[in-house]
Structure 1
Amino acid sequence: MAAHRARRWSLGGFVLLVSTAVVAAFAFLTTGPSADRADAATTALTWSDEFNGPAGSAPDPGKWTLESGGSGNGNHELQYYRDSRDNAALDGDGNLVITARKNTDTGLRCWYGPCQYTSARLNTARTFTQAYGHFEARVKVPRGQGMWPAFWMLGDDLGTAGWPSSGEIDIMENVGYEPGVVHGTVHGPGYSGGGGIGASYTLPGGAAFADGFHVFAVDWSPEKITWSVDGATYQTRTPADLGGKKWVYDHPFFLILNLAVGGDWPGSPNAGTAFPQTMTIDYVRVSASGGSSGNGGATRTGAVKGIGGMCVDVAGASTADRTPIQLHDCTGVDAQKWTLGGDGTVRALGKCLDVRGASTTDGTPVQLYTCNGTKAQQWAYTSARDLTNIGADKCLDTKGGSSADGTPLQIRTCTGAAHQKWTLA
C-alpha cells in the first residue's frame, strides 16, 4: 500500500476544487416497462476521453483542469505542476502524454526554493463526478528512481468535508524503485497516509510496467471496491476491512492523473534517472453497471432521436454553460451522445440538460449547463417515450413541431404529440 504518503492534494489544487467542484451523483435511472429496463441493464459508458487530437494540442478543457503549484502536496514532492503543453499534451496518436522535465524557469518557486522539475496534474472536479461504476485507464508509466505516476480519485465534497474525510481511491500508483509493482489503496478518516488500506500487484516474470501499456481499473459499488490490472483482480475492500472506521465511498468522486517527481515515498531522482520522463495515457473510461430492479440502476447512453429521426444535439458542440440544445442531423459526434442516469440527469460533454432559469413556463428553452443537482436538471424517460422534466412536470418538446435542422428544443405541457416523442438509440 501507499504507506509513505501523507496526503495527495495541493494547497492550490485544494482551493481550486473548493471553488469549482461539481456535486453530482452519477448512478443511472431509466423508467419504462420491464423489457426496456432489462435491455438497459448492462454496463454503459458514462464518460471517456480517448485523447484523439492533433499532436501538441492541450487536453480537452471541457473535461480536464490542469492544476499549478509547487507546494510539495504534503509529500515533499519536487515538481512544479504547470498548465503547459510542455508538460501535458496530446501526441497525435490517440494518447495524452504527461512529461516531467528538469526545470529551466528560474522564476518558478517550490516549497524548498527554486524548482528542480516541472510536470502536470489534471482533474475532472469541474466537469465530471460519479458515484459507483467501473473506472479504468490504459497507461504506460515512466521509468526511473524518483518517478511517481498515479491514476486516482477524490471525493467531490473535498471542499466541505476536507481530506481524508472526503475519501480517496488510488486506482494505480507506481514508484520508480519498484518497476514491476503497482499499488491500489483507499484513504479515509482514521486510515490515511501511512495507514491507508490497500495491496499491490506485481507483473509476472520480472517485467516492468514501463515496458508497455497496461489497463488499471476499479469496480466500485456501495458495498465494495475491487482493483484489477489488465483484467486480473488483485484485491477487494469492503467496510469490514476498516476495523470499524467510516466507509466514506458513498458519494461522487472525481478523477485525477498526475506524474510526481520525488517525495517521501519514491525518494528523489538519482544520477541514473533520465529526463524528460513520460506518463502516456491511451484512454480514460468510466461506466456504470446497470441493474434491473425497480427504477434504479439501469443506464442508457447514445443518441436521443426525435421527430423526423433527428438527433438531440448540443449547438456547436460547445461545452459552455447556456449552450442551446437543438435538433440536428445525426452524425454520431459526442455532442449527440447522451446518458440518462439514476440521479435523474441527462448528460453530454460532461454537463447536464437544463431548463433555462429553472422555469416551469411553456416554451422555456433547454440548454447545456454545469450539473448542480436542481430539479431543472431532473428528467424521467417514460414507457410512452416522453422525456419529462421533473421540476416543471413538462415534456421535452420540439419548437413549432418542426423537424428542421437547428430547431430549438424547449419544455411544454405534455400532449402526446409526435414532436414530444424520443427514442434512445
Structure 2
Amino acid sequence: MSMPAPSSCSFSSSRRARRGVLLAALALGFSLCAPQPLATATAPPPPGAGAAAAVPVFEETFDGPAGAAPDARRWNTEVGDNVNNRERQYYTPGNANAALDGQGHLVITARRENPGNYSCWYGRCEYTSARLNTAGKFNAAYGRVEARVKMSRGQGVWPAFWMLGQDFGQVGWPASGEIDIMENVGHELGRVHGTLHGPGYSGGEGITGSYNLPPGQVFADAFHTFAIDWAPDVITWSVDGQVYQRRTPADLGGRAWVFNKPFFLLLNLAIGGNWPGDPDGSTVFPQRLVIDHVRVTASPGTPGPGRTGVLTGLAGKCLDIAGANPADRTPVQLYTCNGTVAQRWTLGDDGTVRALGKCLDAQGGQTADGTRVQLYTCNGTGAQRWAYNSAARDLVNVPANKCLDVLGQNPADATPTQLWTCSGNPNQKWNLVV
C-alpha cells in the first residue's frame, strides 16, 4: 500500500477555543493536581540508529469481556458536559458509553439519546458520550506515545487523543500545556490534526499541522496509528509511521515551551462545539471510536526531564550548534550567547546532553585527544554519555574520560569543540546556567 502524502504544517487561525477539563470530573473523587507517574520516557531513536529496542512503560490492549468498563486502575471516566467549547454531549460514567468489545478493543460510543435526563449548559442534553484520562494513574515525560484507532465520522463528530501537563491542577490551562496527538472533525473524512497549546498560543492560536490520506481514503474505514515521538525540546507527529510535523521551541516565537515535563493521557469523542460545528441531518448515530491499543514506549536507560539551560565556557561564550542545524554530524562549537534554542541544552538523568532533540556526541565513538564533538541522533552509545561536575565545571565523556574542550583555547566564534585530556584549563570549563 502506498504511503499517504502529508499536507503542509501551519499556524491556524481557525482553531477552537480549548476544551479544559470538566468541572464535573471533580465529583468523581480523583485529583488532577498530583498525578503519580508510573514511568518517564524518552523518544526512541529511529530505525537504524543503533539503539536497543524500545520497551513499553504503559500498554493498554483493552483485553476483557464484552461490556466491561475500562480498567479503573489506569483510566478515570469523566462525567458532565463541557461549556468551554459549546459541545453538545454529556459524558457518562461506567460502561454506558465506554466499554470493551471482547475482541481487544475499547469502544467509545456517542449516541443521540439522554436516558438519564442529564442537563447540559444549553438545557436538556441531546447526546451522550465518554471521555477518559490517566490523571493520577499514569503520566510520562518523553517517549513514543501512540494509539491505534478506527475513527468515527460525520458532521459535528469530534474524536481526540491528547495530553495535558500533570500540573494542570496547579497552573491551569493553557499554562499546563496541551499536546493534541490526534484530532478529527468528522466532516474531514481523510484529515487529522496535531497541535500544541501553551501560554500565548492556545485555542485558535495553537501551533498546528495536519495530515491528509490520499484522495478517496477515509480514516473511519480502517485502523490507523497516531503517534508523537517526544524528547526534550522536540515533538514529532506521525500517522502510520509517516512523519508530518516536527515542533521545537524555535516555532514559538519566544513564547514558553511548556512540554519538558510529565503529561497525562486523554481519549474522548465529543459532539458539536465551536470548531466542528453541530451535527446536522447528515450525521448518523450512534458513532463509534474504536481503540485497539494505547502505548507509551521508551528506550532503555530512560532519562528524566533533567536540567535545562545554557552552557557557558571560554570568554563567557556558549556551547552552540552550528547554524542551529539539527542534522546529524552538525559541529558543536563556541559562539557568542544569543538565547536561541541552538544553545539550550538539557543534561538528562541518563548522562545525555541534548539540544534540538538530539545528543552531544563524540564523532565516530572515538576516545582519542582531538576527537571532534557533534550533534547526532540519540542512540544510547558511550559516545553520548557525559558526566557534568558542577563544582569543577568539567563536562567529561565517560568512556574516554576526557573533557569537552574548545580547540586551541581560541575564544573566537565558531571555534570547534573536541575531546581532550582534562587539564583544568579555562577552555574546558563549563557553567550550566538554568
Structure 2 partner of 1:13:
25
**1:23–1:252: 8 Å Cα contact kept in structure 2?**
no
Q: What's the CA shift string for 1:212-258, capped at 9, x where partnerless?
A: 11000000000200000000000000000000000000110000000
1:283 CA displacement: 0.4
How do 1:269-280 and structure 2 match up within 5 A?
269-280=279-290
Query: Which is higher, the Rg of structure 1 or of structure 2?
Result: 2
Q: Give the TM-score, by structure 1 length.
A: 0.64
Tell whether 2:139 aligns with 1:115.
Answer: no
Aligned equivalent of 1:52, options 47, 63, 69: 63
% identical aligned pairs: 58
**1:139–1:213: 8 Å Cα contact kept in structure 2?**
yes
Q: Which moved more, 1:183-192 or 1:17-26?
A: 17-26
| Counterparts of 2:167 and 2:156, CA distance in 1 | 31
Q: What's the CA shift string for 1:136-160, capped at 9, x where partnerless?
A: 0000111111100000000000000
1:205 CA displacement: 2.5
| Counterparts of 1:265 and 1:27, CA distance in 2 | 33
Aligned residues: 288
How do 1:376-387 and structure 2 match up within 5 A?
none
1:215 to 1:177, Cα distance in 2 relative to 1, 3 A: same
1:13 CA displacement: 3.4
Give the match's secondary structure for 1:204: coil
Structure 2 partner of 1:27:
40
How do 1:309-348 and structure 2 match up within 5 A?
none
Letter matched to residue 40 of structure 2: A
Tell whether 2:106 aligns with 1:87.
Answer: no
Aligned equivalent of 2:240, options 230, 245, 248: 230
How do 1:55-204 and structure 2 match up within 5 A?
55-72=66-83, 74-105=84-115, 107-204=117-214
Q: What's the CA shift string for 1:35-79, capped at 9, x where partnerless?
A: xxxx9954111001000110111100011000000133x100000
Name the Cα RMSD after superposition. 2.4
Q: What's the CA shift string for 1:109-135, capped at 9, x where partnerless?
A: 000000000000000002101100000
> Tell me, which stretches of 5 or more residues in structure 1 are unaligned?
30-38, 298-340, 344-425
Q: Give the TM-score, by structure 2 length.
A: 0.63
1:14 CA displacement: 6.5
Give the match's secondary structure for 1:102: coil
| Counterparts of 2:34 and 2:170, CA distance in 1 | 10
Tell whether 2:299 aligns with 1:281.
Answer: no
**2:40–2:139: 8 Å Cα contact kept in structure 1?**
no
1:102 CA displacement: 1.2
Give the match's secondary structure for 1:201: strand
Letter matched to residue 238 of structure 1: T
Letter matched to residue 77 of structure 2: L
1:272 CA displacement: 1.1
**1:150–1:257: 8 Å Cα contact kept in structure 2?**
yes
Letter matched to residue 68 of structure 2: S
| Counterparts of 1:192 and 1:232, CA distance in 2 | 26
1:84 CA displacement: 3.3
Relative contact order higher in (CA < 8 Å, ≥ 6 apart): 1
| Counterparts of 1:287 and 1:126, CA distance in 2 | 19
| Counterparts of 1:65 and 1:233, CA distance in 2 | 30
**2:37–2:136: 8 Å Cα contact kept in structure 1?**
no
1:106 to 1:67, Cα distance in 2 relative to 1, 3 A: closer
